[in-house]
Structure 1
Amino acid sequence: MASRISRRALWLQKITDEVVSQIRRRIDLHALSAGQSPGTRDELAAEFVTSTSVIDRALDQLVEDGVLVPSEAGPVVATEQPASNGFAISPAQTLQDVRAILELRLGLETVSAGLAALRRDEAQLAAIRQAAAAFSNAEGDTAAQADIHFHRAIASAAGNIYLLDLLDYLGPLLMPRRRILLPKTPGTERDGNLEQSEQEHAAILAAITAQEPEAADQAMRAHLLRALALIERSGR
């Protein structure tokens, strides 16, 4: 029992760390300015597909670190952060921005998929499979975050921390215009593009499961190239 509780505690801490990292990155990229709230507990829990208790832990940590401060109205607000002299990419605001970031991800994630097929262990494979299932059950605004979790699980299984860090950096940059990638297909019960993405995720998962790096590379490339094609059509 103690071992089971320990594993659960480690998993919850990992999610908490991810929420903290993403909010810090949004502040660094000026997507959140001084006085702005990162969102309510319920909004953040829905975005990160987790519980409000995890969100509370993340917000408490950010307050303790001085990154956020409590406001009289209740939600925490971003404080002024020192200017960074490091490399940064602005969050995507236009179709051209989204296309450029997706082109960058194309190279990154095909490498990640191939390496994941070679290096993944059973626990990592289970995490990818779980993320794929979560995306299959996602609807509306939760689909974008579920999609990020799937791609992140693959990068984590690649066994290269720099690939994972870069994906963590690029993922939130697409969030302001994420819905562009998944336009609703009129007259259907479920978004046709979500269903297509689900099939593509299944192909990627199958290649990683079979430990076939070339097939995983090709499946991921096809998946992201279709997203790029959607961007091209949306811009016409």
Structure 2
Amino acid sequence: MAVTDEAIEKIKGMIVTGALRPGDRLPKEADLAADLGLSRNSLREAVKALSLINILDVRQGDGTYVTSLEPPLLLEALSFIVDFHQDNTVLEFLAVRRILEPAAVAMAATHIEEQEVAVLRAQLDELGANPDIDKLVASDLEFHRRIAAASGNSVLCSLLDTLSAPTARARVWRGLTQEGAAARTLSEHRAILDALQARDPEVARSWATVHIASVEQWLASVL
């Protein structure tokens, strides 16, 4: 194992065991290096690497702190990677969404509040029958984000939010080129909402699967 990798593992071990908790300030560099049996240079490299993935927060003139370690923060690095995939790999992102999102929708069916369902339904009504494609896609992103949040699982919600960027571009393309895409999207959204309001996880899961699969199948046919 490379020296820097060893240093990263030792710091990670301190966080996992609770020796360092979210918000804690790391000991002085010289003291921490001595405690871990590391050179100060390898410790610096480890700190730099962990700061890039939002595990540590280096504050100039103040010190180095463990971040909140909240899923949205830690998954920012994944979002950065996702943004580089603009080719046919978008189909792979859609395939992952098709696995994860129906599960989130099913979970939301047992957690979502009536008021949230009403808000989502009002947003759909506001779009009308023939919405502008930019407004439709923005509404689509918000629709899925709020339902994922209603699942009560912050990690699942963050993963789905990360996957939304490349698939959003596909949805814009579909809306501009496929006849009836907007009407179909709105109809499927209403079916998902009906299942959520009925507190029926399996019907909600089925409609979410159909909804995402329709985008995936269309994109596969045009690429």
TM over 0.5: yes
| Contact persistence 2:101–2:208 (CA under 8 A) | yes
TM-score (norm 2): 0.59
Where structure 2 has 5 or more consecutive residues not aligned to the other structure, the ranges are: 1-51, 53-74
Work out which of the residue numbers 203, 215, 218 in structure 1 matches 2:203.
215
Point out 4+ residue stretches in structure 1 off by more than 6 angstroms: none
Work out which of the residue numbers 186, 189, 214 in structure 2 matches 1:226.
214
Q: 1:147 to 1:134 in 2, by over 3 A?
A: farther
User: Does the alignment pair 1:152 with 2:145?
Assistant: yes
Work out which of the residue numbers 189, 195, 199 in structure 2 matches 1:201.
189
SS in 1 for 2:177: coil
Residue deviations 1:22-66 (CA, integer Å, cap 9, x gap): xxxxxx9xxxxxxxxxxxxxxxxxxxxxxxxxxxxxxxxxxxxxx
Note the 1:29-178 alignment, pairs <5 A.
Answer: 86-87=77-78, 88-91=80-83, 92-94=85-87, 96-136=88-128, 138-178=131-171
Q: 1:119 to 1:174 in 2, by over 3 A?
A: same
Task: Return the alpha-carbon distance in structure 1 between the equivalents of residues 205 and 215 of structure 2.
Answer: 16
Task: Return the alpha-carbon distance in structure 2 between the equivalents of residues 178 and 89 of structure 1.
Answer: 20
Identity %: 27
| Contact persistence 2:141–2:168 (CA under 8 A) | no
Where structure 1 has 5 or more consecutive residues not aligned to the other structure, the ranges are: 1-27, 29-83, 186-190
Q: CA deviation at 1:177?
A: 4.4
Q: CA deviation at 1:215?
A: 0.2
Q: 1:85 to 1:196 in 2, by over 3 A?
A: closer
- The structure that has the greater radius of gyration is 2
Q: 1:85 to 1:164 in 2, by over 3 A?
A: closer
Task: Return the alpha-carbon distance in structure 2 between the equivalents of residues 116 and 104 of structure 1.
Answer: 18
Residue type matched to 1:217 in 2?
R
Q: 1:134 to 1:155 in 2, by over 3 A?
A: farther
